Amino acid sequence: MSYYTRKEIDELHTDIATLAKGITGGGSDEERVISTIEHCLHNGYERRRIAEKLEKFLDAKQSSKLTDKLQDKLDEYRRKGKKRNGGAETGADVPKKSRFDMKEKSSDVKTTPELTPLVAASMAAASINAATVAAPAVSTTGLNSTQIKLMMVNAQREIEERKRALNNLKAKDPILASVPQIGLPVALATQALAKKTVPEDSEKAKKIAELQAQIRAKLSNLIQPPQVQDRPKPLILDEDGRTIDKSGRTINIPTLTPTLKANIRAKKREVFNKSQVQSERHTQQEESLKFFDDRIAQKPTLRTKRSLRFHEPGKFQQLAERMRMKAQLEKLQNEISQIARKTGISSATKLALIAPKQDTPDDVPAMEWWDSVILAQDMNTMDEVGKISIRHSAITNLIEHPTQMKPPNEPLKPVYLPVFLTKKERKKLRRQNRREAWKEEQEKIRLGLVGPPEPKLRISNLMRVLGTEAVQDPTKIEAHVREQMAKRQKAHEDANNARKLTAEQKSEKKIRKIKEDTSCGVNVSVYRIRDLQDNASKKFKVETNAKQLHMTGTVVLFRDCCVVVVEGGPKQQKKYRRLMQHRIKWEEDMVKGPDGQDIPNTCVLVWEGTSQRRHFGEIKFKVFPMEKMAREFFQKHQVEHYWDLAYSGAVLEASADN
């Protein structure tokens, strides 16, 4: 397969994209297949090589099919190109022009003005005549051999350029094919050479004769048909990256050996890496062959045929009937709800749907457990009179008192109220403690266990304590006093740092002050908010403050009834109650009422009390589209009465607004 230029590949791009889309089905590999085909055409790959490249993205069958279609498209493109060129280049394939020739050709065409074909042909012939006549005319004026050669080269270049422009005009207009463009320049050139003046010396005459022969030979070559040039052979590489010919034999290409030490080391490193890769590849092949059993025949994958599945008759008719019935039912429900809202029946109906919590079982036993003690056998056993048989020996005049148990909400240890002293009492107690510590220290000094402390020197009492010593060397004494003062200051700061709490101790102390002991009972508060779903700032405050106060609970978001349940100690509840009822301005937000009008948002404390234990974990938001799902959530945590109380209040509030 021959090489293709970028211009030709751009012309073939639409056909290549159509073929790739038909094979891949417009998948993600379409662009990669197109780029691979264009790369192979630009590098002159053969059909087999292109199929191997495409097998990276397609299977073998699809790649061979795509390659066949591509070959047909390329043959068709070549035939069209030959038809466009016409009779100028019929028969053998014309060699591809290089990019530099194309650039020169395009530049010549751009600079040529818009003329008719006949006028352009005549101008080209005239330019060739001028070039051929000018060459010998200049040579008559006593030139050396180098200048003559240079002149001939320039004349030949101009002749070639004019000839190329004339061929382009001939290809555009078939009328010029019958006009003889070559004979006229040749005749004019020979006439000009014949009319030239005879040189004085014989050497110049010989040179002029040589020039005439060269010009005749060049002009005769122009008349001959162009010879087909051999194209460069395509570069074929095998799997290991070695260069091979068409028969598959390796071709040894001479490589330049490096001379620098750094390049030699890099070459050795590259050879070593290649040998390592080859050894790893051989070991992998040996391992794969080690566990391969050629006796087991692999069955090819068979694609099962899909059978036609028909819908049952009347299926879509049933679906249509269901949709119609559903639409009619929704319409009827809307009409009933509107009538009920006007009459006030809807609120009563919603309240009736709220099921009360059943703590006691429905079935009542025929005989209680305390009656079984005095019965003879059971309730069916009768005595002589016809009454239930009773053991009279079990009945005495003694009264059985049950064992007294401690209430669950009372602490195990007695709690004593702390005693707070007055300011005068605190001073007196501090004075006594300090005096006791001073006496103990004096006793140790008296017994010799501890040395006497140094006098507490300051700059103010320096002269009074030391006296004559301060007068003898005041600078030394002042330095000693300042050193003692710095030592006392450092001891004071070290004592403060020793008593200072660490960062972990500070956080633990803060949490300990916020948290409260809820082992004897948990305070619970239930709040009802009209709308909390579309208010992000309020939701953030509700959640963040509950987490900062280390409270548990939940937030249930439902249409026209959002419930917030928080569990904690009394101090925590007090702070959170202030947040919900005073700090957050609920009235600023306007929400949609039951009839669609804008009403201010509200937050109501539904209930607060104590519970034996916590029913929720860390506070989280829950969104429920139906009232039944919200009640089931609370029922799962055994506090469905929270929802019943809050939702009934929301229903009554909505009926009152209407």
Per-residue pLDDT of 277-332, as tens digits, reads 888 887 777 776 666 666 666 666 677 778 888 888 999 999 999 999 999 998 98
pLDDT at residue 99, rounded to an integer: 44
SS3 568: strand
Buried/exposed code over 158-173 (b: 16+ C-beta within 10 A; e: otherwise) = bbebbbebbbbbbbee
Cα separation, 235 vs 506, in Å, equals: 78
Contact 53, 40 (CB under 8 A): yes
Parallel, antiparallel or unpaired: strands 522-529 and 603-611 = antiparallel
Paired strand residues for 568: 523
DSSP code at position 198: P
Structure tokens at 55: 């097998």
**Nearest one of 592, 596, 564 to 580, comparing CA atoms:** 564
pLDDT at residue 291, rounded to an integer: 66
Structure tokens at 567: 């569990």
Q: Tens digits of per-residue pLDDT, 362-381?
A: 567 778 887 888 888 888 88
Cα separation, 144 vs 149, in Å, equals: 9
Cα separation, 74 vs 647, in Å, equals: 78
Fold of 6-82: PWI domain (1.20.1390)
> Do the first three CATH levels of 6-82 and 520-655 match, i.e. the same topology?
no
pLDDT at residue 133, rounded to an integer: 42
pLDDT at residue 15, rounded to an integer: 81
CA max distance for the chain: 180
Backbone angles phi, psi at 563, to 5 degrees: -110, 130
Fold of 520-655: Alpha-Beta Plaits (3.30.70)
pLDDT at residue 49, rounded to an integer: 79
Paired strand residues for 599: 591
pLDDT at residue 109, rounded to an integer: 39
pLDDT at residue 189, rounded to an integer: 46
Cα separation, 264 vs 617, in Å, equals: 71
Residues in the chain predicted with pLDDT less than 70, given as ranges, are 1-2, 26-28, 83-143, 169-201, 219-233, 254-258, 288-301, 340-363, 657-658
**Nearest one of 602, 601, 594, 598 to 657, comparing CA atoms:** 594
pLDDT at residue 327, rounded to an integer: 93
Tracing tokens 């080269």 back to the chain, one arrives at: 153
Reading phi first (left if > 0) and then psi (alpha if -120 to 50, else beta), residue 549 is in alpha
Beta strands in 296-377 (DSSP E): none
DSSP state string for 466-531: HTHHHHH-HHHHHHHHHHHHHHHHHHHHHHHHHHS--HHHHHHHHHHHH----SS-EEEEEEEES-
pTM over 0.75: no
Domain boundaries, the chain: 6-82, 455-473+480-488, 520-655
Cα separation, 372 vs 168, in Å, equals: 127
